[in-house]
Amino acid sequence: MLALSFLAGIYLCETVSQQVDTRDQPSTLADSRPGAAALYTLLYKMGFHVERLSGPWSELNPGSGVLVVLEPLSRHPTEYEIAPLRKWIEQGGTLMFVCTGQPQQEDPRDSISGDVRLDPAQNGLSHPTPDHPNLPYCGGIKSLCVSSPLRMTPSPSSHYQVLFRDDQGIIAIHKPLGRGHVILMCDDLIATNRGIAQDDNAVFLVNVAAAGTTAAGPGLARVTFDEYHHGVGFESYTPGSISVLIQHMPRLLKWTLLDLFAFLLVIVYSGNLRRAPLSIAADLRRHPPRDYVRSMARLYRRAGSRDLVIRTLYDRLLRDLRHALKLAPESKPPKIISAFNETFDANNTGLKSIVVRCDQIVAGSTITELEMLALAETIDKLRRDFGIVGTQ
């Protein structure tokens, strides 16, 4: 109990630490100048369902209509996150990615935005007007207030549509991807607490949220902010390496697990010295009691319900066969018989005859008391012969 309380305390301290560390990032948890808490509050008060993503893009809620990713990021996305994110977009989601940082070339490994090059530009305020005022994203916008040392150059074959540009180049672009949309933007200012109130920045962000949630449908009406890549939540690991999982564990959790493992070794060693060498436990399998069938028969015979005995035993047999053969709960008797014969290599077990007769009784066929006892004994013998144990 003490160890569990200690682990819970570590988790709480780590969570609080993660939220504190986001103060200098464009996070919705930060109310400082570079934070985005004002945008989160604005959308919430306007009636949008807003939430924070504390896991990688592979854990993105299917009910989200818009994912907002604001650079810079303290955790860089991995290649294993691209495929699930692209699938989510193609199914109707809208990705809004606000780029900051260093210039970069096109990246063929990125199947979402790798067809765009980020070029250096002179940093300073600009006030671009929309290229296509009639688009849903640009409705009601006279100009944006932009500050960024980057401009975008889409690949000629990428089919992007320019939303905003100034004298130095393209600032915001859009393209459809499957049934969803991708919006890329170069701006260090637009979504921050400092810049959201300037020009029509807030109008553009609300337009993106409204268009994305409306296009996704009523079941996808959430706006999700990516906080995982700002350091919130326990870091996930890439498949295929247990060492990477250990590397991504919080430091306190690593030491706690190491202490618990050492403590367990001491307990096992002490117990071995006091009692006897460790031995492998016997394989205890739970079988139905031998007198179960006879007890059922006597009980229902007194009640005059012979067919109810067989129905009860038959239902229990089918249920336990599905469990033992790892079949779906709705699997029908023919499928159960086929799987049973394949698993036990027993085509002459009599299971088929049991099923046929029990189905006749369930359908209304009469049964004598002697036949009831014989059929019940046959079912019980099949259970014992093949180890068809009951389920808890």
What pTM was estimated for this model as a whole? Answer: 0.58
The DSSP symbol for 282 reads P
- Give the residues across from 99 on adjacent strands: 186
User: Going by C-beta distance under 8 Å and a sequence separation of 6 or more, which residues neighbour residue 262?
Assistant: none
CA dist 234 and 228 (Å) reads 8
Within a 13 Å sphere around the CA of 390, how many CA atoms are in the beta-carbon half? 11
Tokens, residue 169: 């180049």
Measured distance between the N- and C-terminal CA atoms of the chain, rounded to whole angstroms: 27
CATH number corresponding to 9-237: 3.40.50
CATH 3.40.50 in the chain: give the residue spans: 9-237
Check the CA dihedral 246-249-255-259 and report its sign. negative
Give the C-alpha separation, 354 to 314, whole Å: 9
Residue 284 DSSP class = -
Q: What pLDDT shows up at residue 303?
A: 56
- Residue 235 identity: E
Beta-strand relationship, 180-186 and 222-226: unpaired
Amino acid identity, position 284: L
Please list the pLDDT of the chain residue by residue as tens digits (392 residues): 555 665 565 555 555 455 545 556 788 888 887 889 999 999 999 889 999 998 899 988 888 899 999 998 888 888 889 999 999 999 999 999 999 878 999 998 899 999 999 999 998 899 999 999 999 999 999 999 999 999 999 998 888 999 999 999 999 999 999 999 999 999 999 989 989 999 999 999 999 999 998 865 655 578 999 999 888 876 665 554 455 455 555 555 666 777 778 878 888 777 666 555 555 554 445 545 545 555 656 666 555 566 787 888 888 888 888 888 888 888 888 888 888 888 887 665 678 888 888 888 888 888 888 888 888 888 888 888 888 865 44
Q: What is the pLDDT of residue 100?
A: 84
Q: Give the whole-angstrom CA distance, residue 93 versus residue 211.
A: 11
- The pLDDT score that the predictor gives to residue 241 is 47
